[in-house]
Amino acid sequence: MESHSEFLRRVTLDAELAAALRQDHTRACLSDQDRAMLDHALKLTEEPARIIPEDLDRLRRVGFDDRGILQITLIASWFNYINRVADGLGVGK
């Protein structure tokens, strides 16, 4: 999480946003679209088998089309995968 937060801080030049997201994204000052995206990525990370059509409908309601939903899903899934590979190999420990 630290490396992702640091990357966000460097890319956005917004240390407050990076810190708020690191602490609790639900309390950060975000657009409805960004909040829905992060909520979906978190659910996909923590309880992927519980994704239901209503989760995708929420993303559509805030402006994501099917391509955007696919991109969110692929990126979150890739990060989950690569983080588990790194953890499994003891990278950074």
For the chain, the 3-state helix, strand and coil shares in percent, each to the nearest 5, are 80, 0, 20
Instruction: Give the whole-angstrom CA distance, residue 61 versus residue 34.
Output: 12
| Architecture of the 31-93 domain | Up-down Bundle (1.20)
Q: Of residues 12 and 42, which shows the higher confidence score?
A: 42
Look at residue 14 and tell me whether its pLDDT is greater than 70.
no
Which sequence spans correspond to the domains of the chain? Answer: 1-30, 31-93
pLDDT in tens, 23-37: 777 777 789 999 999
Q: Give me the mean pLDDT over the 13-19 stretch.
A: 70
pTM: 0.79
Look at residue 47 and tell me whether its pLDDT is greater than 80.
yes
Q: What three-state secondary structure class fits 51?
A: coil
CA angle 86–24–43, rounded 5-degree value: 60
Look at residue 1 and tell me whether its pLDDT is greater than 70.
no
Q: Of residues 53 and 22, which shows the higher confidence score?
A: 53
Q: Give me the mean pLDDT over the 41-66 stretch.
A: 96
Instruction: Give the whole-angstrom CA distance, residue 72 versus residue 65.
Output: 11
